[in-house]
């Protein structure tokens, strides 16, 4: 009876598995702060996508960990960079799997900021947008289906959209990290992606947690600039933003269940303080109920494995 009248359902087809791909094999292996999550080489990433595909998880979000970093993130727009090579290899082996590439500079800059830093130590918005556009084109040429800018610079969605269109990539979609808050919950990710800022913080370009109306304004700007999917991030503390976005806009909404949300649940489960499977089901249900279409979660594979048809 409960199944008959249930209002919301988690669909495996709406889950996205984030994946960390390393350029240097020496950096591959388990991530200490995220039990159960690994860094893959390009080759092992392709194998893992095969495992996900068999479980019907058909969308991955790639993060690259380059071998070299510099002040201007040049390893990011290298046509043979790690994300570019991973995307080509995955699309070649599993053409039907949707490859989403996170587009940001923080993993590629020596200072760990998401943008280019000027002589005053401030992030230069427009110089950063140029680098993002350049990188986005190399991603598109490598077969990436969806570009996901997570840097939070102003005007980047329009700049990327125009560049993609002018190079014949009208079919490449943009999933904008529109409402991305300056959050403590990214802690484990920064270890995973080696992207902790070496000075300062990200508060000049990420959003202030108390602000909700500002999130709707950011989302509406990104939609005007050409975003196909908009995102709210993190997930659990921002479900009100997901709901408000759902009620205000007609575009698909993604929610990012970030590293800290993953790791705290894992840690509690490992201590026997919480029933992991039930907690994960409840967590993902909360995202669906709040109105998310796309759920980006490190639990995607586990969830799909537990709910696979026998
Ligand atoms: C890059 C980026 C971050 C995350 C996704 N893209 C880190 C940050 O902004 O500091 C966080 C993802 C997670 O915590 O799982 N800017």
Asked whether residue 5 is assigned to any structural domain, the reply reads no
The finding on whether 148 has its CB within 6 A of some atom of ligand 1 is no
Any ligand 1 atom below 6 A from CB of 107: no
- Does 23 reside within a domain? yes
Return the SS3 of 3.
helix
Q: How far is the CA of 19 from the centre of ligand 1 (A)?
A: 12
180 in catalytic set? yes
**Substitution candidate for ligand 1 out of 105, 189, 196, 258 with most atoms within 8 A of CB:** 189
25 Cα distance to chain centroid: 22
Domain count, the chain: 1
In a domain, 1, yes or no: no
Does residue 210 lie in a domain region? yes
Residue 2 lies in a domain: no
Q: Considering only CA atoms, which of 224, 281, 274 is closest in space to residue 249?
A: 224
**Nearest CA to 218 among 265, 164, 176, 246?**
176
Cβ–ligand 1 contact at 263 (below 6 Å) = no
Rg of the chain, C-alpha, whole Å? 18
- Residue 91 bears catalytic tag: no
- Whether 218 is in a domain gets the answer yes
Which candidate, 252, 241, 234, 249, places its Cα nearest to that of 214?
A: 241
| Nearest-CA residue for atom 2 of ligand 1 | 150
Tens of each residue's pLDDT in the chain, 310 residues: 999 999 999 999 999 999 999 999 999 999 999 999 999 999 999 999 999 999 999 999 999 999 999 998 999 999 999 999 999 999 999 999 999 999 999 899 999 888 889 888 888 999 999 999 999 999 999 999 999 999 888 899 999 999 999 999 999 999 999 999 999 999 999 888 887 888 888 888 899 999 999 999 999 999 999 999 999 999 999 999 999 999 999 999 999 999 999 999 999 999 999 999 999 999 999 999 999 999 999 999 999 999 987 6
**307 CA to centre of ligand 1 in angstroms:** 28
Strands 123-124 and 116-117: antiparallel
How many angstroms is it from 88 CA to the middle of ligand 1? 23
Range of the domain at 146: 12-306
CATH number of the structural domain spanning residue 279: 3.20.20.70
In a domain, 289, yes or no: yes
The alpha carbon of 219 and the centre of ligand 1 are apart by a number of angstroms equal to: 18
Q: Is position 227 within any domain?
A: yes
């Amino acid at each position: 009876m409960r199944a008959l009248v249930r209002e919301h359902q988690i669909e495996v087809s709406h889950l996205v598995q984030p994946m960390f791909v390393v350029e240097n094999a020496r950096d591959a292996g388990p991530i200490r702060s995220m039990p159960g999550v690994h860094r893959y080489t390009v080759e092992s990433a392709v194998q893992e996508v095969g495992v996900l595909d068999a479980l019907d998880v058909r969308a991955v979000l790639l993060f690259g960990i380059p071998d070299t970093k510099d002040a201007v993130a040049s390893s990011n727009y290298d046509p043979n960079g790690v994300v570019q090579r991973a995307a080509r290899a995955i699309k070649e082996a599993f053409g039907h799997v949707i490859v989403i590439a996170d587009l940001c500079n923080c993993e590629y800059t020596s200072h760990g900021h998401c943008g280019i830093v000027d002589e005053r130590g401030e992030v230069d918005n427009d110089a950063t947008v140029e680098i993002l556009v350049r990188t986005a084109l190399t991603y598109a040429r490598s077969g990436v289906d969806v570009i996901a800018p997570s840097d939070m610079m102003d005007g980047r969605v329009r700049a990327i959209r125009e560049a993609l269109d002018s190079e014949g990539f009208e079919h490449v979609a943009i999933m904008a990290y529109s409402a991305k808050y300056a959050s403590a919950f990214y802690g484990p990710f920064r270890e995973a992606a080696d992207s902790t800022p070496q000075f300062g913080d990200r508060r000049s370009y990420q959003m202030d947690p108390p602000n909700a109306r500002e999130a709707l304004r950011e989302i509406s700007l990104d939609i005007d600039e050409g975003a196909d999917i908009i995102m709210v991030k993190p997930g659990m503390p921002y479900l009100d933003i997901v709901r408000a976005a759902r009620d205000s806009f007609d575009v698909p909404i993604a929610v990012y269940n970030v590293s800290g949300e993953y790791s705290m649940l894992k840690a509690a489960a490992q201590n026997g303080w919480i029933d992991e499977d039930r907690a994960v089901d409840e967590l993902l249900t909360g995202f669906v109920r709040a109105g998310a279409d796309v759920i980006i979660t490190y639990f995607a594979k586990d969830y799909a494995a537990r709910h696979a048809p026998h």
